[in-house]
């Protein structure tokens, strides 16, 4: 079974952050991982698009009970009906989590991952949080992930 990398981050983002998330998704697929995320828009959509364009596989854990909430690049949409509580499932099912910007929801995922012993790599905003490994860009983030969890 392939390892999964959780991508967490902003539900809405501008083109610069979208480009970082897209690159991250591409690298996740190219390194043989499945991509796991919240399955919706922003960073999640951009990362899924990058993974799909690189031939990867994507899983989206949705907050509601409607499969159509998933972005078009999610291979397996999983409805949870859990709202924000699904954040725990997003990080707990990954070998590592990579945060790309984001707000309170992303911060909750970072905390849940750390409490669960899941390594967290942050590109940008969250790099100053104790225990979070900082990366300048998607390529460095993937290098860190590979050093932590292998392939």
Range of the domain at 140: 4-149
In this prediction, residue 128 carries a pLDDT of 78
**Sequence-distant (≥ 6) Cβ neighbours of residue 15 within 8 angstroms:** none
What is the C-alpha separation between 129 and 26, in angstroms, rounded?
A: 26
Pairing of strands 76-79, 96-100: unpaired
Please state the pTM of the whole predicted model: 0.96
- pLDDT for the residue numbered 42: 98
Contact 101, 124 (CB under 8 A): yes
Q: Which H or E element spans position 96?
A: strand 96-100
- Using one digit for the tens of pLDDT, what is the confidence trace for 88-146? 999 999 999 999 999 999 999 999 999 999 999 999 887 778 889 999 999 999 999 99
Here the CATH number for the domain that contains residue 91 is: 3.40.50.450
Question: Residue 67: what pLDDT?
Answer: 94
Instruction: Report the domain count for the chain.
Output: 1
Residue 1 pLDDT class (50, 70, 90 cuts): confident
């Amino acid at each position: 079974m392939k390892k999964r990398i959780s991508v967490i981050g902003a539900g809405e983002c501008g083109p610069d952050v979208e480009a970082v998330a897209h690159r991250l998704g591409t690298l996740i697929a190219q390194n043989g991982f499945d991509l796991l995320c919240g399955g919706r828009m922003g960073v999640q959509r951009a990362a899924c698009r990058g993974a799909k364009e690189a031939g990867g596989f994507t899983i989206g854990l949705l907050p509601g009970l409607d499969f159509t909430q998933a972005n078009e690049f999610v291979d397996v949409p999983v409805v949870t009906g859990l709202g924000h509580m699904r954040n725990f499932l997003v990080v707990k099912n990954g070998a590592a989590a990579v945060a790309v910007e984001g707000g309170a929801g992303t911060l909750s995922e970072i905390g849940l991952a750390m409490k669960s012993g899941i390594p967290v790599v942050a590109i940008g905003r969250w790099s100053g949080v104790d225990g979070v490994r900082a990366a300048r860009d998607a390529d460095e983030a993937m290098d860190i992930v590979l050093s932590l969890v292998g392939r």
